[in-house]
């Protein structure tokens, strides 16, 4: 499991001499100069402590800082770093090139997660996705990659809107982390979808050119599993100015005289006209859906979108994000706040019913691009909104909410988000014990009511029945395992480790909230 592949920045002072032919690593270092990168940061210990294996090529010296305890320089090209992750202010893993031989510069630095050293020794054999992530997402049949595509940010997907400047796997615009730059490459989104058998929802950059759309369609047609469906939309929430897409739509609406909503709607039609013939050329694609988003809290927004579409057959669906917000700072007790969330579910469903009537009258599908509970308090340890989202009753409300949306004719519903801080995350960490995740439990209960197959049918029955993970982890399906792991069966919950998740390491945290 590759934690990170180091790559250098060229915007430092004094500037580093970067050698493009050498993968973007420093060609040389000036006296007292070093090149550093943060490999892990601010994960609140929700990643693995242990021995990290560092592989590299060339001649030079690497140093490590922050949560690193001990460094063993086994031989040239191989270093073992003992790491105990913390949530202190200066946490994480920091890596620096402090010396490089200009005749044989240090390059291709890779840091491997504990337990994956053997995989890392094989060229290009590192598993891309951690088994815990795959296990957490295994039950979802649709995945929306809006945040991976950085749809809300300047430069997300492609700074220029051209295919040549898209987020790439390597290349001149690749950074040491997909958290900066243009985002996660479409190739990674497609591979995750293929691996899980989940249909992707792809967001195009707000400024995507026709050429960009055409090349993306060709990539999807060539590499996405033909049995998977596909949903495509232009950016995210272009009906308001809070994100870069809405700002762009406002400008283009003024320049063209169409207005924001009609420019956005008609631009989505144009992109669909470019992409649809290519996506159909494979002959076996299970379904392609182009969606235009409207504001859930404003029924007039849907009316305006429908007027702008003018019955276009290039668009398949109108997408809403009907969150239910029951938070009221005047309510001082948890039971009362949960009652408020229950009322919010009913009010939200009444509102969506008005949208649904309009959308279905014009022959479009109703889908959710986002949904779930919302409403934030002061984000401290005393925040009742956080407590409400962790309460078992919230799971019941989630189940009621999605059942109501399905009854209104919603054909696809995306919960925002799979993992994140409250009030949005189904889970607060990928390695969270599912017994402590009531929102996910409620959602899965709803899904089970309408499932046509058992997603967990391929789990290792022998592992599960023998309690091989000691009740402190889950058994991985064979398809979600990697051959070169210390434990091929278990993925451990937070604070547990070892081949059977029997090692418990208490975590002393100084974080009293999310502030």
Rounded CA-CA distance 319/203 in Å is: 13
Q: Please give the residue that has the higher pLDDT: either 316 or 19.
A: 316
- The torsion defined by the Cα of 129, 133, 135 and 136, in degrees rounded to 10, comes to -160
User: Given this model, what pLDDT does residue 148 score?
Assistant: 94
Query: How would DSSP label each residue in 471-502?
Result: TSEEEPPGGG--TTSS-SSEEEPTTEESTTS-
pLDDT-derived band of residue 175, with 50, 70 and 90 as boundaries? very low
Rounded CA-CA distance 322/318 in Å is: 12
pLDDT-derived band of residue 343, with 50, 70 and 90 as boundaries? very high
Q: In angstroms, how far is the first alpha carbon of the chain from the final one?
A: 31
Backbone angles phi, psi at 156, to 5 degrees: -65, 135
Structural contact between residues 246 and 237, judged by C-beta atoms closer than 8 angstroms: yes
User: Given this model, what pLDDT does residue 468 score?
Assistant: 81
Instruction: Find tokens 């599993």 and name the residue.
Output: 225
User: Given this model, what pLDDT does residue 188 score?
Assistant: 92
Q: What is the pLDDT of residues 149-167, one digit of tens each?
A: 999 999 888 899 999 999 8
Structural contact between residues 417 and 147, judged by C-beta atoms closer than 8 angstroms: yes
Average pLDDT over residues 23-31: 85
Provide the mean pLDDT of the chain.
86
Listed by start position, the domains of the chain span 2-120, 129-290, 321-452, 458-504
For 257, counting Cβ atoms within 10 Å of its Cβ (0-12 exposed, 13-18 middle, 19+ buried), the class is: exposed
DSSP class of residue 101 equals B
Rounded CA-CA distance 117/1 in Å is: 8
pLDDT exceeds cutoff 60 at 1: no
Looking at the DSSP bridge assignments, the partners of residue 143 are: 200
Average pLDDT over residues 473-494: 66
Rounded CA-CA distance 510/507 in Å is: 10
pLDDT exceeds cutoff 80 at 7: no
SS3 of the chain: helix, strand, coil, percent, to 5: 30, 20, 45
pLDDT-derived band of residue 488, with 50, 70 and 90 as boundaries? low
Looking at the DSSP bridge assignments, the partners of residue 224 are: none
Structural contact between residues 384 and 391, judged by C-beta atoms closer than 8 angstroms: no
User: Given this model, what pLDDT does residue 281 score?
Assistant: 67
User: Given this model, what pLDDT does residue 344 score?
Assistant: 98
Average pLDDT over residues 374-399: 91
Instruction: Find tokens 């969606």 and name the residue.
Output: 291
Average pLDDT over residues 66-87: 92
pLDDT exceeds cutoff 70 at 84: yes
Q: Please give the residue that has the higher pLDDT: either 122 or 214.
A: 214
Q: E-assigned strands of 146-269?
A: 199-204, 229-234
**pTM for this entry:** 0.86
pLDDT-derived band of residue 418, with 50, 70 and 90 as boundaries? very high
DSSP class of residue 43 equals -
Residue 191: alpha-carbon gap to chain centroid: 13
Q: Which of 30-44, 182-196, 449-463 has the lowest mean pLDDT?
A: 449-463
**Helix 186-196 to helix 210-223 angle, to the nearest 10 degrees?**
30
pLDDT exceeds cutoff 60 at 485: no
pLDDT-derived band of residue 482, with 50, 70 and 90 as boundaries? low
For 201, counting Cβ atoms within 10 Å of its Cβ (0-12 exposed, 13-18 middle, 19+ buried), the class is: buried
DSSP class of residue 27 equals E
């Amino acid at each position: 499991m590759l934690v990170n592949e180091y790559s250098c920045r060229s915007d430092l002072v004094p500037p580093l001499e970067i050698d493009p032919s050498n993968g973007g690593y420093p060609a040389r270092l000036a006296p007292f100069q070093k090149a550093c990168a943060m490999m892990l940061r601010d994960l609140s210990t929700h990643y693995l402590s242990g021995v990290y294996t560092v592989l590299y090529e060339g001649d030079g010296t690497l140093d490590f800082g922050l949560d690193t305890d001990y460094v063993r320089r086994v031989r040239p090209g191989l270093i073992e770093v003992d790491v105990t992750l913390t949530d202190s202010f200066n946490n994480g893993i920091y890596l620096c090139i402090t010396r490089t031989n200009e005749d044989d510069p240090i390059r291709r630095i890779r840091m491997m997660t504990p337990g994956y050293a053997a995989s890392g020794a094989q060229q290009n054999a590192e598993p891309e996705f951690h088994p815990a992530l795959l296990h957490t997402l295994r039950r979802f049949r649709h995945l929306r990659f809006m945040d991976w595509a950085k749809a809300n940010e300047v430069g997300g997907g492609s700074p220029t809107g051209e295919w040549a400047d898209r987020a790439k796997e390597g290349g001149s615009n690749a950074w040491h982390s997909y958290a900066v730059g243009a985002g996660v490459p479409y190739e990674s989104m497609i591979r995750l979808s293929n691996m899980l058998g989940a249909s992707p929802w792809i967001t195009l950059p707000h400024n995507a050119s026709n050429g960009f759309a055409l090349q993306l369609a060709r990539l999807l047609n060539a590499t996405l599993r033909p049995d998977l469906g596909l949903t495509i939309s232009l950016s995210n929430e272009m009906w308001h100015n809070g994100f870069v897409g809405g700002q762009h739509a406002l400008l283009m609406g003024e320049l063209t005289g169409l207005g924001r909503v009609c420019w956005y709607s008609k631009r989505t039609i144009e992109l669909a006209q470019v992409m649809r013939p290519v996506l159909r050329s494979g002959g076996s694609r299970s379904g392609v859906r182009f969606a235009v988003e409207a504001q859930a809290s404003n029924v007039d927004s849907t009316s305006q979108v429908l007027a702008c579409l003018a019955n276009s057959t290039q668009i398949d669906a109108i997408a809403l994000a009907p969150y239910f917000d029951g938070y009221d700072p005047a309510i001082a007790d948890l039971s009362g706040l949960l009652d408020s969330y229950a009322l919010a579910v009913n009010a939200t469903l009444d509102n969506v019913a008005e949208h649904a009537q309009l959308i279905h009258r014009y022959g479009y599908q109703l889908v959710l691009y986002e949904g779930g509970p919302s409403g934030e308090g002061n984000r401290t340890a005393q925040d009742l909104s956080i407590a409400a989202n962790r309460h078992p009753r919230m799971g019941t409300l989630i189940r009621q909410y999605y059942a109501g949306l399905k009854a209104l004719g919603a054909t696809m519903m995306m919960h925002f988000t799979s993992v994140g801080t409250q009030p949005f995350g189904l889970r607060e960490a990928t390695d969270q014990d599912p017994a402590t995740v009531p929102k996910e439990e409620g959602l899965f209960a709803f899904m089970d009511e309408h499932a046509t197959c058992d997603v967990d049918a391929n789990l290792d029955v022998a592992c599960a029945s023998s309690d091989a993970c000691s009740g402190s982890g889950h058994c991985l399906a064979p398809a979600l395992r990697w051959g070169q792991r210390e434990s091929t069966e278990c993925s451990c919950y937070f604070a547990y480790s070892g081949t059977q998740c029997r090692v418990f390491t208490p975590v002393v945290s100084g974080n009293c909230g999310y502030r």
